[in-house]
C-alpha cells in the first residue's frame, strides 16, 4: 500500500464540490495490486429507456430543480483497470439505481407509486488518466426481490458493454439475492460488495465507498 494516500485524505481533497456540479476526481488514489476480472452481472430491466437530460456524476440533484434527492448521500468512487492491472483512462462509466422509494428512471417503473423527481436516477462519468471515476448518489435501497445495489455499465476502447452490479456490505438481504448468489466464489463475490463508511467530510450523514472494476 506504499505510496497510496489514505481514504480520509482522498475525501478531504474531493469534499468541496457543490450541488449540481460535476465532481472532481482530484486526489483519488490508484491501487497497486493486480486484479481479477470483476464478475459480470445482468443488465436488468431498468436501464433508462429514455436518458435524462442531466447525465452528470452528481445524482443528488437534477438541473433545473432546486430540491435535493431523498436518501443518504453516498460517494462511490474507484478505478477501472484491465486484466493486466493497468488503469484505463477515458472509459465511460454509467450507473443507474432506484430512488429512495424504490423507483427507477424507466417508463415501466414510473407511476407504480411515489417517486423522487429530485433524484437523477442515472449518471455518467469518464475515467481520468489513472482510470478513476466518481459519483455522488444515494445509498442504494432494497426493492421487492432485490437487495440494495447499483447497476454499472462500462464502455471504452476495447471494452464492450461491461455490465455489473455493486452491492453494500452488511445488507442482510445479500444472502438471499438471486443475482448476487450467482457469484459463488468468495473472493469474486467480495469484489462486488462494498463497505460504505461514514464520511462527515462530505456532509452530515454522508457515506462513501470504493468500487474498483476490472474489465476484460
**Using CB under 5 A as the criterion, which residues of the chain lie in contact with Fe ion when the complex forms?**
44
Closest CA to 89 of 157, 146, 148, 31: 157
CB of 53 vs Fe ion, minimal distance in Å: 22
Closest residue to Fe ion using C-beta atoms: 44
Nearer to Fe ion, 25 or 46 (CB): 46
CB of 119 vs Fe ion, minimal distance in Å: 14
Nearer to Fe ion, 35 or 121 (CB): 121
CB of 121 vs Fe ion, minimal distance in Å: 11
Distance CA 54, CA 80 (A): 23
CB of 150 vs Fe ion, minimal distance in Å: 8
Detail the DSSP E strand segments found in the chain. Answer: 73-82, 92-96, 122-126, 132-138, 149-156, 159-168, 193-194, 197-198, 207-210, 213-215
Nearer to Fe ion, 11 or 180 (CB): 180
Nearer to Fe ion, 39 or 44 (CB): 44
Detail the DSSP E strand segments found in 127-195. Answer: 132-138, 149-156, 159-168, 193-194
**Which H helix or E strand runs over 192?**
helix 186-192
Nearer to Fe ion, 20 or 102 (CB): 102
SS (H, E, C) 34-46: CCCCCCCCCCCCC
CB of 106 vs Fe ion, minimal distance in Å: 10
Is the separation of the CB atoms in 80 and 127 below 8 Å?
yes
Amino acid at each position: 500500500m506504499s505510496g497510496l494516500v489514505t481514504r480520509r485524505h482522498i475525501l478531504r481533497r474531493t469534499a468541496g464540490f457543490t450541488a449540481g456540479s460535476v465532481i472532481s476526481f482530484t486526489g483519488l488514489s490508484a491501487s497497486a495490486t493486480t486484479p481479477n476480472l470483476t464478475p459480470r452481472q445482468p443488465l436488468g430491466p431498468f436501464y433508462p429507456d429514455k436518458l435524462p437530460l442531466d447525465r452528470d456524476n452528481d445524482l443528488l440533484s437534477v438541473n433545473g430543480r432546486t430540491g435535493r434527492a431523498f436518501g443518504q448521500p453516498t460517494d462511490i468512487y474507484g478505478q477501472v483497470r484491465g486484466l493486466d492491472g493497468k488503469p484505463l483512462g477515458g472509459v465511460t462509466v454509467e450507473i443507474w439505481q432506484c430512488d429512495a422509494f424504490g423507483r427507477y428512471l424507466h417508463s415501466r417503473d414510473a407511476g407504480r407509486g411515489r417517486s423522487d423527481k429530485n433524484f437523477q436516477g442515472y449518471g455518467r462519468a469518464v475515467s481520468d488518466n489513472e482510470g478513476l471515476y466518481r459519483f455522488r448518489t444515494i445509498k442504494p435501497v432494497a426493492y421487492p426481490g432485490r437487495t440494495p445495489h447499483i447497476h454499472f455499465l462500462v464502455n471504452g476502447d476495447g471494452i464492450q458493454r461491461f455490465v455489473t452490479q455493486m452491492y453494500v456490505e452488511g445488507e442482510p438481504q445479500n444472502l438471499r439475492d438471486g443475482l448476487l448468489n450467482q457469484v459463488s466464489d468468495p473472493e469474486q463475490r467480495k469484489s462486488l460488495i462494498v463497505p460504505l463508511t461514514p464520511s462527515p467530510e462530505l456532509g452530515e450523514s454522508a457515506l462513501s465507498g470504493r468500487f474498483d472494476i476490472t474489465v476484460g
